[in-house]
Amino acid sequence: MQKAYLILEDGSIFEGNSIGFSSTKYGEVVFNTSMTGYQEILTDPSYSGQIVVATYPLIGNYGINSSDSQSKQIQVKGYVIREYCEFPSHYDSELDLDTYLKDNDIPGIFDIDTRAVTKKLRFTGSMMGCITNNPNPEEELKNLLKQPHYLEVNHVLSVSSDSKYNWEQEDNSSLNDLKIAVIDCGVKFNILKNLSMRGCKVEVFPVDASLEKILENNPDGIVISPGPGDPSMLDQLSSTVEELIKVKPIFGICLGNQLIARALGANTFKLKFGHHGANHPVKDLRSGKVTISSQNHGFAIDPDTLPNDLSVSHVNLIDGTVEGIEHKNLPVMGIQFHSEASPGPLDNTYLFDRFIEKIKEEQNG
């Protein structure tokens, strides 16, 4: 069995065994606390540029299937797990995790103390690292320190679609006849599915689409998708969002939420180790209801910089960070968590319905 190493920029070296593609990949190392959904995590575009550490110890036991992916390929730079299940058992399973990683040229490492890695990241914060099969990890540490930092790269450009496309879905409902334009900063398939299931006709636009192109077919509403990295690198899109807010109902999810806030004058900041998991309690300040949410972001909105026309709609009950915003006068809303789940609980799919209600209220005057 081939040895592999997880190396962190502080000089920490963790030795384990290799899984997936034998290579060296660099990225920001973060941990995810989800107990299930590793395929959805691996294919989530918001993880572009990152190496993911799974805190749940057993990974690979139910295999890989053709229906759970959230994009066309694996998006993470590398995968770190405690115990790898070599022989999956599930009626939907089509191949094993090792083969899936190899098919996508993604290295992984297992048989390491993921608890120790997670505790280090919680104490020091997310840091750059690499997974390598180089038998001289000290040499690879020097190479790691020469790599561009995660925060220096606009990762959205690598995950957004190259051109406009229509999302086609067989179970599209006829209950609504709404046209939704989705700005693709790294959209997950389940967002498109949730909109389509509610009868919406979904048109997806690349992140650099012009205001004129987005409005060309007169959509009833705009969804700004999640995506990776620092929202301050997308200030050009924020300018587009600022104009869209004036003319259309808007729903921002995760990165989209931050872009709405920035478009209206608020600031964002880097979290110490981010929110990555499917067990974050969030309180809806409108209803008082607490739901468990799926989250994947490294930045948050600074509440002290919110303009007067934006109010906080949701808060995180773990650290008090802003989890949602709502415009006081316009049909504009944003959430910091993933209402579409995948992975995680479906507690928050109601927010798609809330957005559709806002569109209809706007249409009815």
Our answer to whether residue 254 is catalytic in this structure is yes
| 167 and 244 housed in the same domain | yes
pLDDT for residue 251: 98
| 234 and 168 housed in the same domain | yes
Residue 46: which of 297, 346, 283 has the closest Cα?
297
pLDDT for residue 1: 85
| 351 and 210 housed in the same domain | yes
Tens of pLDDT, residue by residue over 23-74, are 999 999 999 999 999 999 999 999 999 999 999 999 999 999 999 999 999 9
Tens of pLDDT, residue by residue over 273-302, are 999 999 999 999 999 999 999 999 999 999
Write down the catalytic residue from 9, 323, 326, 340.
Answer: 340
| 195 and 146 housed in the same domain | no
| 178 and 53 housed in the same domain | no
Our answer to whether residue 338 is catalytic in this structure is yes
Write down the catalytic residue from 9, 155, 254, 314.
Answer: 254
pLDDT at 340 over 90: yes
pLDDT for residue 169: 78
Q: What is the mean pLDDT of residues 308-321?
A: 97
pLDDT for residue 175: 63
pLDDT for residue 232: 96
Give 322's pLDDT tier (boundaries 50, 70, 90): very high
Tens of pLDDT, residue by residue over 254-268, are 999 999 999 999 999
| 147 and 176 housed in the same domain | no
Residue 19: which of 96, 80, 98, 88 has the closest Cα?
98
Report d(CA 323, CA 312) in Å as an integer: 8
pLDDT for residue 157: 96
Tens of pLDDT, residue by residue over 77-94, are 999 999 999 999 999 999
Contact 138, 45 (CB under 8 A): no
| 168 and 115 housed in the same domain | no
| 260 and 322 housed in the same domain | yes
Domain count, the chain: 2
Exposure string for 64-101, b = 16+ CB within 10 A, e = fewer: beeebbbbeebbbbbbbbbebbeebeeeeeeebbbebb
| 26 and 56 housed in the same domain | yes
Contact 357, 198 (CB under 8 A): no
pLDDT for residue 177: 86
Contact 26, 144 (CB under 8 A): yes
| Host domain of residue 77 | 3-152
| 83 and 49 housed in the same domain | yes
User: What are residue 327's DSSP bridge partners?
Assistant: 310
pLDDT for residue 168: 87
pLDDT at 240 over 80: yes
Our answer to whether residue 340 is catalytic in this structure is yes
| 62 and 181 housed in the same domain | no
Check which CATH number belongs to the domain holding 189 and give it. 3.40.50.880
Write down the catalytic residue from 155, 276, 297, 338.
Answer: 338
Tens of pLDDT, residue by residue over 99-153, are 999 999 999 999 999 999 999 999 999 999 999 999 999 999 999 999 999 999 9
Tens of pLDDT, residue by residue over 166-213, are 998 766 655 678 999 999 999 999 999 999 999 999 999 999 999 999
| 235 and 329 housed in the same domain | yes
Largest CA distance in the chain: 67
Check which CATH number belongs to the domain holding 54 and give it. 3.50.30.20
pLDDT at 156 over 80: yes
pLDDT for residue 132: 97
Domain boundary among 152, 176, 193: 152
Q: What is the 3-state secondary structure (H, E, C) of the chain?
A: CCEEEEEECCCCEEEEEEEECCCCEEEEEEEECCCCCHHHHHCCHHHCCEEEEECCCEECCCCECCCCCCCCCCCCCEEECCEECCCCCCCCCCECHHHHHHHCCCEEEECCCHHHHHHHHHHHCCEEEEEECCCCHHHHHHHHCCCCCHHHCCCHHHHCCCCCEEECCCCCCCCCCCEEEEEECCCCHHHHHHHHHCCCEEEEEECCCCHHHHHCCCCCEEEECCCCCCHHHHHHHHHHHHHHHCCCCEEEECHHHHHHHHHCCCCEEEEEEEEEEEEEEEEECCCCCEEEEEEEEEEEECHHHCCCCEEEEEEECCCCCEEEEEECCCCEEEECCECCCCCCCCCCCHHHHHHHHHHHHHHCC
pLDDT for residue 330: 97
